[in-house]
Each structure stands twice: as C-alpha cells, then as structure tokens.
Amino acid sequence: MLICIPEVLSKDEVASFRKVMDAQNWEDGRTTAGTQSATVKNNQQLPQNSDAARALGDKILEALSKNSLFISAALPQRIFPPLFNRYGIGQDFGIHVDSAIRGIPGTPVRIRTDLSCTLFLAEPDEYDGGELVVEDYYGTHEVKLPAGDLVLYPSTSLHKVTGVTRGARVASFFWLQSMIREDSHRSLLFDLDQSIQELAAEKGVEDPTCVRLSGIYHNLIRTWAET
C-alpha cells in the first residue's frame, strides 16, 4: 500500500526548515546506509546527531502525531528519528531495499522497518529528476510530491531515487514499526477506517451501522496488533 499524505508541513514550515538546513554542513549519505544500499547511494545527508537534525526531526514527529490520515494508514508503534538528505546534480540512489531492522543511535531501541517515509522539502519545479520509484506487485510507481507532502510505502519494496539533472532534491526520510505487521492487514484497516469516517460524517458517529463497524475495526486491531 502506497499512500500520499498532503500538507504534513505547511509552506511556511517548509521554508523555515530549508533556512535551517541550508546553513548546515552536509556529509556523505552513505554514513547511514546498509551494506547493499551503500554501494548504490550517492547523496548528502545532515549528520543525524546534529542539533539541527534533531530539532527538525522533532517538529516532523509532532506534525505526524496530529495527522489523522498518517495515523490511520501507518498505525505507528515506533518511529525512527527523521533523517534529512539532499541530491544535487548527478546524484542518485540506485535500486535497493531498506534494512529490516534499524537501531536508534544512542539508545538500545531497535525497530522493525515496516514502512518507509519520504517527506518532500523541495517543490517539484525546483529540480529535474529525483523521482522516488517504488516497485511492488502492482507495478512501478514514480513519486514526486509538493514540498510538505509525504509518501508512505512498505519497506519491503524495491525502490530508488532517479538522478537529479537540475537543482537539488531535498527531503526527510525515516522508517516506522507499525502495530500491524502485515501490509495486507494495514490496508484492510485503513480502508475500513476511512469508510467509517465517511459514514460518520454523513450519518453521525452514533449511527448504529457506524458503531458496529467501529467495533469490527477495533476488534481486528486487537486480533492483529503487536504491542
């Protein structure tokens, strides 16, 4: 399930992020790559333990905690602290799959990467190339979203970032462990939750059908959730 989530950050928030990021020193993006992905990764990254990266990451996590569409789609249990990257002219990230387990630096916490997230921080007309290309059972999907929008997709997917030929592609990227391990189960729960919300908006949350469906939704979470 690939889902685009609009306006996680406002345009003013994106501009504030970019002002901070542009003043930082960037490092080789391979510092956080796995064994296989390091051979095909060619970009720059903010040092993950820098004060700027931590502060901006916290703002992203705060925004996500208030985003009902993100919560509905991801059902997050743990979120890896957001990282930040930049692709200049001639830089790309070849086809790869994300590591299954990521340790959060400076802590004993390890998360299973169920979902991968890219939050775009540059407008599409600021750069050429730089599309996120995700391969799944249903084909190949190219994603290039407005600044402030986020794409969420299974970490099991093969994916890549095409080469940038003009400008710079700037983004935040991170992973999360969902309470619901199986992507097919998350998809069913997301569709059910969205349908319940539409029904509630039309008939009210006290409508008997809405109440029954809400019960089914929560009982399925009880059946499938890992806490």
Q: Does one domain contain both 101 and 156?
A: yes
Counted domains in the chain = 2
Three-state SS letters, 83-94: EEEEECCCCEEE
Beta carbons within 8 Å of 105's beta carbon, 6+ residues apart = 48, 49, 81
Spell out the per-residue pLDDT of the chain, length 227, in tens: 899 999 999 999 999 999 999 999 999 988 776 666 778 989 999 999 899 999 999 999 999 999 999 999 999 999 999 999 999 999 999 999 999 999 998 899 999 999 999 999 999 999 999 999 999 888 899 999 999 999 999 999 999 999 999 999 999 999 999 999 999 999 999 999 999 999 999 999 999 999 999 999 999 999 999 97
Same domain, 50 and 96: yes
Tell whether 10 and 116 lie within a shared domain.
Answer: yes
Token code pair at residue 152: 């969420």
169 and 214 co-located in one domain: no
SS3 20: helix
Both 98 and 151 in a single domain?
yes
Asked whether residue 209 falls in the same domain as residue 98, the answer is no
Do residues 135 and 32 both lie within one domain? Answer: yes
pLDDT of 137:
83
If asked whether residues 107 and 189 sit together in one domain, one would say no
DSSP 8-state assignment for residue 48: T
pLDDT of residue 47: 93
Helix (H) or strand (E) holding 23: none
- CATH code of the domain containing 136: 2.60.120.620
Same domain, 169 and 202: no
Range of the domain at 54: 3-178
The answer to whether residues 42 and 76 belong to one domain is: yes
Which residue is listed with tokens 């003043």? 23
Q: Where are the beta strands (DSSP E) in the chain?
A: 3-5, 27-28, 41-42, 44-45, 76-79, 83-87, 92-96, 101-103, 110-112, 115-120, 127-129, 132-136, 139-143, 150-154, 158-161, 164-167, 169-178
CATH of the domain at 212: 4.10.860
Residue with tokens 């997917």: 157
Q: Give the pLDDT confidence score for residue 31 in this predicted structure.
A: 77
pTM over 0.85: yes
Q: Clarify whether residues 162 and 213 are in a common domain.
A: no
Tell me: do 190 and 80 sit in the same domain.
no
